[in-house]
């Protein structure tokens, strides 16, 4: 059973803000029921953004509840420091993907106030920060090689203002997730910039973004797809961002850059595709670095209170050698 807009004059029901895997569900369902909601925007395609009445078994009319909105996450001072380090690396004409969380949002707000121009959008989630960048004149989508002139997304989550923007907007293309998240499509655009949050990063450069030990926090989402896609894009860069520390549930300060993950922590990005990692203490590029160079780079952006113990751990792990030097660890914040 799927929520859709009322049927249009061509006999099609539009999926509104969530295209994602609706077509795949229909292809596999024994019975297809559409629940009409007149509050849904009509999100033009794209690809697979609607179902024809010939594929529908039942139509249900309901009270047309307002659709779910999500307030933009609060941007902190740490978010701003991290965002500044990322925005410095973006060039005009880049194609942007922002992940979920407050840090990617801070990047959007900073881009809106930057000198960048002619940016493009190919993303999984469309959020209010894209609207902010568009209204500031930063997004034209003209430099994209694929879907030139269009915002490409698979679902939108944000304010009613965002939903009004995408409603019947031919400049926006709603596509199923197998299109937006395909490696080939992401990397078809040059200069892809992918910005996503993480829970923790280990000294090998592996990124964990889904669980903390056995505590499941979230899902994989499009993080792997976009980080890998950016890696394959000519001029592309992927950024994993996180605050250097977190206060745990006992009130203790913990480093989010750790020697190794706790058992149960899920590796979202293998070290082979982790490109840039950014905290409020700096930005490091891990691409092409050796194991001990990665450890050194990551320790250089850890919170200063944890650097000594991270160096000791790296020595124990045999990824700290004569080439590494405490003197090279700089404090950027
Ligand atoms: C929809 C899409 O897929 S867009 C494409 C990208 N997709 C992804 O990146 C998917 C995976 N990523 C995510 O879901 C998010 O980016 C996250 C969860 C990693 C970060 O999002 P944020 O909103 O910044 O998370 P936040 O800092 O509030 O942390 C979320 C929870 O994890 C906990 N947490 C974060 N880091 C740690 C840590 N190192 N140890 C223990 N717990 C932690 C926080 O305490 C918080 O717990 P709470 O929900 O009980 O308050």
Residues labelled as active-site residues: 124
Mutate which of 99, 242, 250, 254 for ligand 1? The one with the most ligand atoms within 8 Å of its CB, which is 99
Q: Which atom of ligand 1 is nearest to the CA of 103?
A: 24
DSSP β-bridge partners for residue 240: 196, 277
CB-defined site of ligand 1, < 6 Å: 73, 99-102, 124-125, 196-200, 209, 212, 217-218, 221-223, 246, 256
pLDDT at 187: 98
Question: What's the pLDDT at 331?
Answer: 41
Q: pLDDT truncated to tens, each residue of the chain (333 aa)?
A: 999 999 999 999 999 999 999 999 999 999 999 999 999 999 998 899 999 999 999 999 988 889 999 998 889 999 999 999 999 999 999 999 999 988 888 999 999 999 999 999 999 999 999 999 999 999 999 999 999 999 999 999 999 999 999 999 999 999 999 999 999 999 999 999 999 999 999 999 999 999 999 999 999 999 999 999 999 999 999 999 999 999 998 999 999 999 999 999 999 999 999 999 999 999 999 999 999 999 999 999 999 999 999 999 999 999 998 677 654 544 444
Residues 6+ apart with CB under 8 A from 29: none
**Sign of torsion over alpha carbons 201, 84, 223, 289:** negative
Structure tokens at 246: 């977190």
User: Domain spans of the chain?
Assistant: 2-61, 77-328
Alpha-carbon dihedral 230, 232, 237, 242, rounded to 10 degrees: 60
Q: Which helix (H) or strand (E) holds 85?
A: helix 77-87
Q: Which residues of 2-16 are buried (b: 16+ CB within 10 A; e: fewer)?
A: bbbbebeeeebbbbb
Distance 76 CA to ligand 1 centre (A): 15
- Encode 299-332 in three state secondary structure: HHCCCHHHHHHHHHHHHHCCCCCCCCCHHHCCCC
Q: What is the reported pLDDT for 328?
A: 53
Using the mean position of ligand 1's atoms as its centre, give its distance from the Cα of residue 255 in Å: 15
Please tell me what DSSP assigns to residue 118.
S
| Class in CATH terms, 77-328 | alpha beta
pLDDT at 203: 98
What is the whole-number distance in angstroms between the Cα of residue 210 and the centre of ligand 1?
A: 7
């Amino acid at each position: 059973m799927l929520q859709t807009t009322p049927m249009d004059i061509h006999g099609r029901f539009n999926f509104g803000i969530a295209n994602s895997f609706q077509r795949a569900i229909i292809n596999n369902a024994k019975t297809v029921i559409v629940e009409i909601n007149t509050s849904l925007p009509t999100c033009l395609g794209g690809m697979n953004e609607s179902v024809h009445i010939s594929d529908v078994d039942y139509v249900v009319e309901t009270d047309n509840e307002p659709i779910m909105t999500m307030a933009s996450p609060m941007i902190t001072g740490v978010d701003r420091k991290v965002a500044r380090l990322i925005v410095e690396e973006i060039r005009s004409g880049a194609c942007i993907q922002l992940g979920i969380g407050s840090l990617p949002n801070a990047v959007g707000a900073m881009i809106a106030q930057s000198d960048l121009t002619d940016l493009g959008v190919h993303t999984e989630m469309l959020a209010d920060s894209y609207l902010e960048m568009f209204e500031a004149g930063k997004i034209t989508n003209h430099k994209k090689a694929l879907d030139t002139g269009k915002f490409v997304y698979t679902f939108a989550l944000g304010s009613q203002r965002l939903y009004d923007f995408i409603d019947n907007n031919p400049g926006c293309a709603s596509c199923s997730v197998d299109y937006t998240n395909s490696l080939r499509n992401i990397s078809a655009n040059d200069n892809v910039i992918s910005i996503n949050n993480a829970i923790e990063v280990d000294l090998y450069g592996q990124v964990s973004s889904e669980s903390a030990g056995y505590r499941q926090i979230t899902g994989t989402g499009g993080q792997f797809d976009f980080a890998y896609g950016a890696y394959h894009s000519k001029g592309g860069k992927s950024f994993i961002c996180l605050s250097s520390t977190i206060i745990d549930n006992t009130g203790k300060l913990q480093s989010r850059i750790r020697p190794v993950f706790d058992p149960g922590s899920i590796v979202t990005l293998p070290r082979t595709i982790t490109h840039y990692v950014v905290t409020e203490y700096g930005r490091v590029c891990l691409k092409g670095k050796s194991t001990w160079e990665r450890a050194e780079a990551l320790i250089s952006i850890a919170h200063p209170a944890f650097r000594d113990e991270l160096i000791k751990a790296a020595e124990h792990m045999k990824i700290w050698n004569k080439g590494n030097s405490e003197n090279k660890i700089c404090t950027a914040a």
